[in-house]
């Protein structure tokens, strides 16, 4: 299985590029952001707590996210592979992912990391906020808090994957097709 961690700050283009990668490599798209937003829409017991965290630009607890991811990995155990979009976002999540995959005899084949400057991230997210209906994309302070949380809790994952020789940086600025071509070139270095 080709299991790829698609990494980047909020607004780096993960969701955009994940759709194209899914099509090209026939992979399953596992987006924890999408999964959490559907949980909120279902109005389950924990919806209000999840929505409050997302709207403030904070991360949802690791245990809650890990549970959803484990279920989805199990369902797609026999697929061509999985794109992990927005997961892992903390070191404990990365450790949980390694353990969940190992239980099934699987592993992360590579982390492709989209890099874009902060001003561009803020611009893209606020632009999307005009039509996405996402409260976390509308407010400049919330968008900047999401980026600050990324630097504090998520960016250390680059070192985590570098230590495993799985870190594959990609320029995340430019045309969507151009960035996609760079991602595909990086994926050639993944180890299935």
Shortest spacing between CB 179 and ligand B4P, in angstroms: 5
Shortest spacing between CB 7 and ligand B4P, in angstroms: 10
Q: Which is nearer to ligand B4P, 47 or 58 (CB)?
A: 58
DSSP assignment, residue 53? H
Shortest spacing between CB 175 and ligand B4P, in angstroms: 7
- Residues whose CB falls within 8 Å of the CB of residue 135, separated by 6 or more in sequence, listed in order: 54, 55, 142
Reading across the β-sheet that carries 167-171, which strands appear in turn? 28-31, 82-85, 4-8, 110-115, 167-171
Q: Residues 186, 187, 188, CA angle at the centre, nearest 5°?
A: 90
Shortest spacing between CB 116 and ligand B4P, in angstroms: 8
Q: Which is nearer to ligand B4P, 99 or 165 (CB)?
A: 99
Q: Indicate the residue whose CB is closest to ligand B4P.
A: 33
- Give the residues lining the site for ligand B4P (CB under 6 A): 10-16, 32-33, 36, 53-54, 57-60, 65, 86-87, 89, 93, 124-125, 128, 136, 146, 176, 179
Closest CA to 29 of 92, 102, 79, 100: 79
């Amino acid at each position: 299985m080709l299991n790829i961690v698609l990494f980047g700050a909020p607004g780096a283009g993960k969701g955009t590029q994940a759709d194209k990668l899914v099509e090209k490599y026939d992979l399953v798209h596992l987006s924890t952001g999408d999964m959490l937003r559907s949980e909120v829409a279902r109005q389950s017991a924990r919806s209000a707590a999840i929505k409050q965290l997302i709207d403030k630009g904070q991360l949802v607890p690791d245990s809650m996210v890990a549970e959803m991811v484990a279920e989805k990995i199990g369902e797609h155990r026999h697929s061509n592979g999985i794109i992990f979009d927005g997961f892992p976002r903390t070191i404990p999540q990365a450790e949980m992912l390694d353990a969940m995959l190992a239980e099934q005899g699987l592993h992360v084949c590579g982390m492709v990391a989209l890099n874009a400057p902060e001003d561009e991230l803020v611009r893209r997210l606020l632009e999307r906020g005009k039509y996405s209906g996402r409260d976390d994309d509308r407010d400049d302070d919330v968008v900047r808090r999401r980026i600050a949380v990324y630097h504090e809790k998520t960016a250390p994952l680059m070192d985590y994957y570098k230590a495993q020789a799985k870190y594959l940086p990609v320029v995340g600025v430019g045309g969507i097709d151009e960035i996609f071509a760079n991602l595909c070139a990086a994926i050639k270095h993944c180890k299935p």
